[in-house]
Structure 1
Amino acid sequence: MNYQRNSWNKVLEFMKLDNNASMQPNEEANSMKDKLKSFNKLFGKICRVQSSWFIVDKHLKREIITSIVKLLLPAYAKFIRRFQRVLQFGKNADKYIKYEMEDIATGLDDLFQGSSKSD
């Protein structure tokens, strides 16, 4: 839990959706662009660092990765769907989306390999 709180909860903070009804569409789009940019940067950094870590216990490693996947993928999917709607039904959304769902899953699966992979 401490590991998750110190690493991945920071990433999840960027995926929280604004529920401010008085926010103008362009303000919401800009907020989401900023959040996605921050997510991309932090996700890449965490994956680079933690792929160089090594967990000897294969069962523990799989448990940790599975818990992160269950936490992160649904939040990311929900954020991306909303992001695409906010940016006028996906217009130009792709230029801001650095990671597809399978990229996120692959990045998480590469954690704790004990190698120094680059993003």
Structure 2
Amino acid sequence: MDEKALADAQAATSVLVRQGKVSEPVGAMVIPAQHGVLFAVGGRDGELYVNGRTLTRQWADDLRAEVPDLASDVTRLQATCAEWLDAPPQDRTLALAGACTDPDCHTPH
């Protein structure tokens, strides 16, 4: 796993915590690759943040280009984001905790 990428993603999430968008990163889903990492966390406003940014279509495309071996994981996170958009916004800070069944996923619970 790319330790620098993980540290960068955690730092970006810490900024979200300081901004009050995420209450804490304990519900994060960490999906590592050899050269990159996806650090996904739900927000207080019902958003899904990946590597410190709201998971928009453009950011998802950028992530696929940046970490192509995690493209299917980005797609899975986009599906989660779409499900969240179908429900009223609520605090999703812990929503990802335990939600992943991927054996390669390292999710801190």
TM (norm. structure 1) is 0.31
Which is higher, the Rg of structure 1 or of structure 2?
1
TM (norm. structure 2) is 0.33
Higher RCO structure, 1 or 2 (CA under 8 Å, sep 6+)? 1
The structure with the greater share of residues assigned to strand is: 2
The structure with the greater share of residues assigned to helix is: 1
